[in-house]
Amino acid sequence: MLIVFLGSEYQSIPSILPKVEIDKPHAVIIAQHGVYQLNNILQELDDRHDIVIHALKRDLQAAGLLANFAEHDRVNIIDFEEFVRLSTQHSPCITLQ
């Protein structure tokens, strides 16, 4: 499952995700205004090691947060082309606005 988080209530992410499945990792892409909630999202999902967290580079740059997460071990910073690739590969894909 893929969740694209654009800045709504980050607390809703854990309840949407299926149970832990180590052999089938899930992904969350943080974009647009969602980047301002990235620290909170990391805390919410701290115990879920089956989730890959991506953040859109252009949105982190626009928010002045790129340096804060550039070396973070749980955040994969991706460009827009990678975002498109990931969003077309995952099913289902849920967008939280």
DSSP string over 12-75: HHHHHSPSP-TTS-EEEEE-GGGGGGHHHHHHHTTT-TTEEEEEEHHHHHHHT-HHHHTT-TTE
Residue 41: per-residue pLDDT: 93
| Stated pTM of the model | 0.88
- 18 lies in some domain: no
Residue 57: per-residue pLDDT: 97
Residue 22: per-residue pLDDT: 73
CA distances from 71 to 8, 16, 49, 80 (A): 25, 28, 18, 19
Domains: count for the chain? 1
Residue 63: per-residue pLDDT: 96
pLDDT less than 70: residues of the chain: none
Q: Which domain covers residue 73, as residue numbers?
A: 2-13+35-96
